[in-house]
Chains A and B, each alone.
Chain A
């Protein structure tokens, strides 16, 4: 079974902190994604990567950056956390197409 592992289930940070969310997949997938999920808004794509060191902006990239130094690992960085970045963050991977395999998510609270 494909496994997508997110490093933290719950995270509490202060405004202005730099925050790193880590994601690892074990199936040699080319594509990796970061989404955030908010009530009433659904899942929204922040960034995705289709190869090592390649990244593309999604629909809401402002305030975020990403890093993919190795194929299996995709990191989401909040340069200076703000309260409006309190959300559930979901990492996903796919080999081809749009059958995405999601991690269990990181619930981030920014106080």
Chain B
């Protein structure tokens, strides 16, 4: 069964304190791994797609990386506006994504 596990559940950082979020997955043949950001009271917003081990994508202070077993979302010098829940998902069939339960990130000024 396809599964996604995210850690930690919650993370509190000081502004400027870099860190990483983890997404480990088990899937029969990875066809795509996706990162989304969700703000309170809103739907998730797409960030990145990764397809193969070794691939990296960057957007502002965020960088996503992928290995054969896990993905990391690195946050460099975060700001309070980066506070959100970050969701990871893997493709599990035609038009189907399996989501993790997310990491709640709080960045304090």
Smallest beta-carbon distance A51→chain B, Å: 11
Closest Cβ of chain A: how far from B89's Cβ, in Å?
A: 8
Q: How far is the CA of A40 from the CA of B32 in the complex (A)?
A: 23
Residue of B with least CB distance to A100: B46
Q: Give the size range of B's interface with the partner.
A: 20 to 34
Contact B95 A56 (CB under 8 A): yes
Judged by a CB distance under 8 angstroms, whether A74 is at the interface is no
The reply to whether A58 and B87 contact each other, CB–CB distance below 8 Å, is no
A74-101 at interface with B (beta carbon < 8 Å): 90, 92, 97-101
Chain A CB within 10 Å — which of B45, B101, B102 has the most?
Answer: B101
User: Do B44 and A43 touch (CB < 8 A)?
Assistant: yes
Digitize B71-94: 1 where CB-to-A-CB distance is under 8 Å, 0 elsewhere. Answer: 000000000000000010101001
Which A45-84 residues have a C-beta within 8 angstroms of B? 45, 48, 50, 56, 58-59
7 closest A-B pairs by CB = A102-B43, A43-B99, A42-B99, A42-B101, A99-B46, A102-B44, A90-B43
Q: Give 7 CB contacts A-B under 8 Å.
A: A42-B4, A42-B99, A97-B32, A99-B49, A102-B43, A104-B42, A104-B43
A interface residue numbers (CB < 8 A to B): 4, 31, 33, 40-45, 48, 50, 56, 58-59, 90, 92, 97-105
